Amino acid sequence: MRLVVIRIAGLTGIDENIKYNLDSLRLRKKYCAIIIDDTPDMMGMIKKVKNFVAYGGIDKDTLKHLILKRGRVLGDKMIDEKKVTESFINDMIDGKKRMRDIGAKEFFRLHPPKGGFKKSTKCLYPKGVLGDQGKDINKLVMRML
């Protein structure tokens, strides 16, 4: 199972340990997203930064749209559609492949969501958008593309 993690909170007033974890996850700016494995090590890092990020399981359609629309290779060029095949998407969901296998950057720069956040950006789920979103994260990602 793969998870998508989106940084929602900004840079000011962050503890050094949390800043270090966000840097380790490559979430250095607001509205950046990454795709990670659902391993205990990664979940430990996510639990530390859950007050600054939204995360949840990603499905195949959302992953394909995310890679094609916001994925970039070195030089800030778009990813060639020929490299993003159905087998690559399936292998990515299973955790067998990564973005660097097609020469792409490991993070995605997203826009703020169209229509704004439906919930507070200061509260954890279910009152707010931070923390574990489950499958609702796919709707948020699609609005941020």
Cα separation, 44 vs 64, in Å, equals 27
Distance CA 108, CA 27 (A): 9
User: What b/e readout covers 110-126, taking b as 16+ CB neighbours within 10 angstroms?
Assistant: beebeeeeebeeeeebe
* CATH fold label, 2-144: Ribosomal Protein L30; Chain: A, (3.30.1390)
Give the per-residue pLDDT at 7: 92
Give the tokens for residue 64: 């394909």
Which amino acid, one-letter code, is at 19? K
What is the chain's pLDDT, residue by residue, as a tens digit (145 residues)? Answer: 789 999 998 878 888 889 999 998 899 889 999 998 888 888 898 999 988 999 999 898 898 888 888 888 888 888 888 888 888 888 888 888 888 888 888 889 999 988 888 777 777 777 888 888 888 889 989 999 8
- Quote the pTM value: 0.88
Structure tokens at 86: 């159905």
If residue 92 lies in a helix (H) or strand (E), which one and from where to where? helix 86-94
Place of tokens 């095949």: 85
How far is residue 36's CA from residue 63's CA, in Å, rounded to a whole number?
A: 12
Q: How many Cα neighbours within 13 Å face the side chain of 11?
A: 6
Torsion angle of the four alpha carbons 77, 70, 100, 58, in this order, in degrees rounded to the nearest 10: -170
CA distance 18 to 52: 9
Can you give the pLDDT at residue 115?
Answer: 85
The pLDDT of residue 5: 93
